[in-house]
Amino acid sequence: MPSLGDDDDPVTAEYDVYITASSPQSQTYLLQYPNRNRLQPYNARSNAKPLELRIKPSSGFLEIDVPMNVYANFDKTKGIKWGEAMLKTSHNGGSSNFGLAAGFARPRETGAAARRARARGGEEEDEEGPDEEIDRHLENFEDANSKGHVMNKQTLGGQILKEESGKPIYMLGAFRGKELHLTKVTGLVQMRPQFHHLDASSHVESAARRREREAAEPPRDTQPRAVQMSVKQNDTDGPTGITTKDYLQAAQQEPWTKLRYHDEDTDEAYGIYHDKLFIHDTEGASQLKSSMTNEEYLDAISAPRHDPSGRSKKKPLTKKQMQVIEESEGSEDDPEEVPPPQDPATSGEQNDAEMADGSDGAQATPGAER
């Protein structure tokens, strides 16, 4: 087998590799948008600069609000309907109070609370129906949009996938001249649309039905009574042994931490990029040394070896054995003398003569075994 020369796969460039230091105060998350075209990023150039970014670091959730164009490919009727639902539930946390990140908790707004509010503010109550309310906002759409009655933003969110033992470690690479600087990724998040507006609309409708039912029914006895509750604790999820109930409760109780968002084209973003993703003192950086041999590294990145025959694993070749193999392959590549071509007729006569007169003196007989 001919050996591959250096010209078949030349080295085009070489870089010095540096790994930036990681700290709990500086975390790097990689946000992926699987439902978004890469040619339409969420930034100011695309008129889609994110409005708000919030995170729950303990329970591991992240959400971002992005604006929507309410004047192109937009259903104004549904936009007002869902906007009104989000506005009515905003005192309970708004969009951040629904979904898995909120532990699937529902805002605790009851008819009794509404009656107490009417008692404090008099008996005045808005008797306008939902259809009339939507028609009124459609006539003054600009005013309704400015006052928050229109759903003019979309919420994207996902669960943070952090580093796990035995799983790959992801790093971000940034080039600077002949240097490659690697920064460890704290977590990955696939940002997908969150349907909090549907949860809010369902909550508003159920609350209205509950108020109607309570208004039609006679007042119930409000005497305190003991209630005994039992919860199964065997629905563990994951190696930590935490139950699903505890996980959802922790997500519900953890408040959102709002972050300041800088557009990618701003000076603040470029400053953070150069400050966090590069090592400034490359001369004083410690030298990276591998604690693994070449064979151990190949075994670490390769799939586990399972031999069905049960034979023991072969030991890796030593340097001396590798040198012998390379020398033998080099000798096979040396050119060998090739005999000159012969005339087919002359070659056939010579073969017949050899068959008739064997080298051991025996005569060749057709059909006889020698």
User: How confident is the model at residue 361, as a pLDDT?
Assistant: 44
Q: Contact at 8 Å (CB) between 18 and 176? A: no
The whole-angstrom separation of Cα 312 and Cα 28 is 44
User: How confident is the model at residue 359, as a pLDDT?
Assistant: 46
Nearest 10 degrees: CA dihedral of 255, 241, 237, 228?
-70
User: How confident is the model at residue 336, as a pLDDT?
Assistant: 56
Nearest 10 degrees: CA dihedral of 112, 114, 116, 118?
-140
The whole-angstrom separation of Cα 168 and Cα 162 is 10
**Boundaries of every domain in the chain:** 33-121+131-167+193-217+239-267
User: How confident is the model at residue 225, as a pLDDT?
Assistant: 67
Place of tokens 């010209």: 7
User: How confident is the model at residue 123, as a pLDDT?
Assistant: 41
Which residues of the chain fall below pLDDT 70? 1-6, 91-96, 103-129, 219-223, 225-241, 305-316, 330-370
Nearest 10 degrees: CA dihedral of 70, 73, 76, 77?
-150
The whole-angstrom separation of Cα 74 and Cα 79 is 8
pTM: 0.66
User: How confident is the model at residue 108, as a pLDDT?
Assistant: 55
Residues 6+ apart with CB under 8 A from 200: 82, 85, 86, 88, 89, 95, 98
In tens, the pLDDT along 225-277 reads 666 656 555 555 544 557 888 878 888 888 999 999 999 999 999 999 999 99
Nearest 10 degrees: CA dihedral of 302, 303, 304, 309?
-110
